[in-house]
Structure 1
Amino acid sequence: MPENRFQSDENFAENFQQRRQNQRLRPGRFAQEEPLAETSENVETTTQSRETRSERGGSGRPRGRRGGRGFGRGRGAAQLVTTAYFLNDQKVWAVGNGAHIYHTADGGQTWERQLGGRSLDNLRDVLFLSGQQGWVAGENGFLIETQDGGKTWQTLQVGTQQTLVGVHFPSLDPKWGWSMQRDGTVLYTTDGIKWSSGQTPMRPPVYEEDFPIPFAINDVAFGKFSEGWAVGRDGQIIHNQDGGPIWTAQRTSTNSNLINVEMKFAPLGWAVGNAGIVQRTINGGEYWRHHETDTGYSLNAVSFVTKRKGWAVGRYGIVLRTTDGGFEWEAIPSNVTQELYNICVLSEQEIYAVGATGTIIHSMDGGDTWEQEHTDIANDLYAIVKAENNNELWIVGQWGVILRREIDSIQMSIRKTGEIPEDKS
């Protein structure tokens, strides 16, 4: 459990985001924990600089559909793995410290090491568009690509030594992608080979006497046609219209740190952050308006299932709900006081939220009532996602703990993953 779990609100967003960088998760991602087994010796890996590119392809990324009752605990590598990406319920890539990359093709029953021990760089993000093509980003400008499912990896030259905290191909076009530096600089490619720095602005001051503030990314969301929004410290929101190199500042009505942004229904959008702040836009961010939430507790995540129905979660077990698109928010008793870090909305009726000390809460009536689900762990749980085209929910958290739930129309079953192989290098 992080020592700063009950820190003051003014420092919360930065520290919470530091924790999330180490357990970074978006739809399709999970992280790992626990003892390691013997490493597989039948994996041949190569890393080389790439000057040319062969024919490429890709497919959609998972977003998930269903959940069910009963979570099983997975196993992995606390000292190695920081984040992972599951393409489906069978194929998963896990990455971590020391440039280690692991892969399973059988839903976690067995793992093989695809790369590791050749670099001290810690890896921060992984993304696959298909079973063959994927990217991994990390410290010191580390960005590599595979076109054969991870058997070989090619180094991409991005012209920076800064830590890359994310890699995105929002249009699913493998030639058009983004990577974000910790300091807010955005790198982009339009051919999949050459990467350049985009233009990211300073935040315009809320008050005339304020000085412009450099942008610092906390969260990024993409809408249709590669249109993107990024939120960060001091109420900053920047916007990219068409996937091009230029990001422009959008005027908000707050100086509070913004932690999470939801643009599923763009041009409608919502951003949440410190001290119960909610920013809402109806025009793609031409202007963001403040909406009262009657809470002073920081909000960590927001999710909408329709243009009118949404939920937000945050510190001290706070759960907020809106049924009018975010104009008004009501607090709902969650029956827990632990901090809630993430929320997953399966339908207008079924919702999950996860948080500190192994907290999992579940509603089957649209958030009117919540029940706490019990596990045998005390790790903080940072994220929950639903996987597309299968019947699984995945939860990940502190020290890489994995929880997975399987359900079908007839019966529910619980399954554990196997062990990630131990690094002997």
Structure 2
Amino acid sequence: MARRLKNKSLYCNGLAGVLLMAICVSPGVAAQFPDVIDQRSVLSTQASHATLLSIARAGERLVAVGERGVVVLSDDSGRTWRQVQVPVSSTLTAVQFVNSRQGWAVGHSGVILHSGDAGQSWTLQLDGRRAAQQELNDAQTAALEPNADEGAQRRLVAAQRLVTDGPDKPFLALSFSDTMHGLAVGAYGLVMRTEDGGMTWQSWMGRIPNIQGLHLYAVAQAGDRYYLAGEQGLLIRSLDGGKSFEKLDSPYEGTYFSLALDSDGAVLIGGLRGNVFRSRDQGNNFEAMNNPVPVSLGSAIRIGQQVLWVNQAGGVLRSTGDSSTLQPLATPAAPALTAVVDAPDGSLVGVGFAGTARLAISNVNATSSNPERAVAE
């Protein structure tokens, strides 16, 4: 894996720096640190000021996650926050709730956490050790099939390496369509699937056309359609509920960090240098969208009839189905934001390298062309 780590070193100094911290540490060095999978997160009165990477709504509650297993909750639209403890101290990279109570978070060391009470308590459903072993088991079975090809053998070798390396690979994104069905993706092509709410997880790495093991940064689904996006312009699609996947022709060779499906079903992808593309035919063809702020886009979220994008500088932009141009909604705050969500009171709440911030945007759905400054209230 040392060769791959060397090739990935450039990602340790940019948009994905925090997300990929685990990748930039060799297995030998990582082994010297306490096993964060087995250590509960540390409670701190300053948790809401920690580096936070993702935020989601659980009904009337906001849930944000970040470094060292920090999870903070707000019941007043982001004005005040309190920390809850989780069973790991791994950095958490993404969080999603499918209703007011059921949610999942993923992160470093291959961890997947579940909450059934709006983020108040969490259980560990999967970690990197079990994920690697699951992939090895599946790869061994596939290699013994009568029609096994060279690809099956390559998968087996890669799976054996996963087990040998230990739980040093992070999950970077997740997508649940309901309380039962979800997908988690991450570094080196990690893909895990559940159909029972996370009680069990299966490796889907053998289904994904990603021979190089490129990092997967984003995933989205709607019905039987799945879309995955990652480094070096990697775009993957399934139109049959995950039974088969195909690699799409990418309009861009750079890395994609964000992916969203708009209210009309169009596929939107964003990545390095502010490049944004849209497909109205399920990914067969893409058109470039105009982004007046050529800064890398780290996250995207659909809110009503629009998609909000957060760029590396902390700016927030909006795209709508009837426009081919992104509209700046908020100019950068200091420090940068990593994600935003619409709060129950209609405001926009962001998280980033200095924790949480209520943004000075009174109506997320406003259509004014005048950008507002994103500052903490």
TM-score (norm 2): 0.65
Same amino acid, percent of matched pairs: 17
Does the aligned pair in 2 maintain the 1:12–1:274 contact within 8 Å? no
Report what 2:191 is aligned to. 237
2:289 maps to amino acid = I
Paired with 1:225 and 1:105, the residues of 2 have a C-alpha distance of 22
Report what 1:223 is aligned to. 177
1:380 to 336, 339, 356: 336
Change (3 A) 1:225 1:199: farther
> 1:295 and 2:240 equivalent?
no
Q: Deviations over 1:205-243 (max 9, x none)?
A: 983552233384332222245122222233342322334
Report what 2:202 is aligned to. 247
Change (3 A) 1:180 1:110: same
Cα distance, 1:370 vs structure 2: 2.0
2:236 to 267, 276, 279: 279
Does the aligned pair in 2 maintain the 1:170–1:222 contact within 8 Å? no
> 1:315 and 2:286 equivalent?
no
- Aligned to 1:377, what secondary structure does the other structure show? coil
Q: Name the structure where helix makes up a greater proportion of residues.
A: 2
Change (3 A) 1:171 1:229: farther
Bigger Cα displacement from structure 2, 230-239 vs 204-213: 204-213
Paired with 1:282 and 1:247, the residues of 2 have a C-alpha distance of 19
Does the aligned pair in 1 maintain the 2:317–2:326 contact within 8 Å? yes
> 1:19 and 2:18 equivalent?
yes
Q: Deviations over 1:111-164 (max 9, x none)?
A: 567789xx9957748899999x8999999xxxxxxxxxxxxxxxxxxxxxx967
Provide the aligned C-alpha RMSD in A: 4.9
Paired with 1:281 and 1:317, the residues of 2 have a C-alpha distance of 26
2:353 maps to amino acid = Q
Report what 1:78 is aligned to. 49
Paired with 2:9 and 2:69, the residues of 1 have a C-alpha distance of 34
Report what 1:200 is aligned to. 134
Gaps of 5+ in 2: 1-5, 22-39, 41-45, 140-148, 164-168
**Aligned pair count?**
320
Paired with 2:114 and 2:259, the residues of 1 have a C-alpha distance of 20
Cα distance, 1:406 vs structure 2: 2.9
Task: Show the 5 A alignment for 1:45-60.
Answer: none
> 1:329 and 2:286 equivalent?
yes
Paired with 1:209 and 1:297, the residues of 2 have a C-alpha distance of 29
Cα distance, 1:287 vs structure 2: 1.5
- Aligned to 2:354, what secondary structure does the other structure show? helix
Does the aligned pair in 2 maintain the 1:319–1:331 contact within 8 Å? yes
2:235 maps to amino acid = V
- Aligned to 1:327, what secondary structure does the other structure show? coil
Report what 1:395 is aligned to. 350
Paired with 2:196 and 2:241, the residues of 1 have a C-alpha distance of 13
Paired with 1:408 and 1:371, the residues of 2 have a C-alpha distance of 13
Cα distance, 1:248 vs structure 2: 3.4
Does the aligned pair in 2 maintain the 1:316–1:337 contact within 8 Å? yes
Does the aligned pair in 2 maintain the 1:102–1:114 contact within 8 Å? yes
Task: Show the 5 A alignment for 1:103-252.
Answer: 104-110=74-80, 124=92, 165-169=111-115, 179-181=125-127, 183=128, 185=130, 200-202=134-136, 204=139, 207-208=151-152, 210=154, 211-213=157-159, 214=162, 216=169, 217-224=171-178, 226-243=180-197, 244-249=199-204, 250-252=206-208
Change (3 A) 1:206 1:403: farther
Larger RCO, structures 1/2 (Cα 8 Å, 6+ apart): 1
Q: Deviations over 1:365-423 (max 9, x none)?
A: 54411233443524332112234x542332222222524333289999999877xxxxx
Report what 1:258 is aligned to. 216
Cα distance, 1:284 vs structure 2: 1.9
- Aligned to 1:226, what secondary structure does the other structure show? coil
Paired with 2:329 and 2:365, the residues of 1 have a C-alpha distance of 21
2:316 maps to amino acid = I
Change (3 A) 1:212 1:357: same
1:346 to 297, 300, 303: 303
Pick the structure with greater CA Rg.
Answer: 1
- Aligned to 1:353, what secondary structure does the other structure show? strand
TM-score (norm 1): 0.58
Change (3 A) 1:120 1:180: closer
Report what 1:155 is aligned to. none
Cα distance, 1:272 vs structure 2: 0.3
- Aligned to 2:188, what secondary structure does the other structure show? helix
Paired with 1:136 and 1:261, the residues of 2 have a C-alpha distance of 14
> 1:355 and 2:311 equivalent?
yes
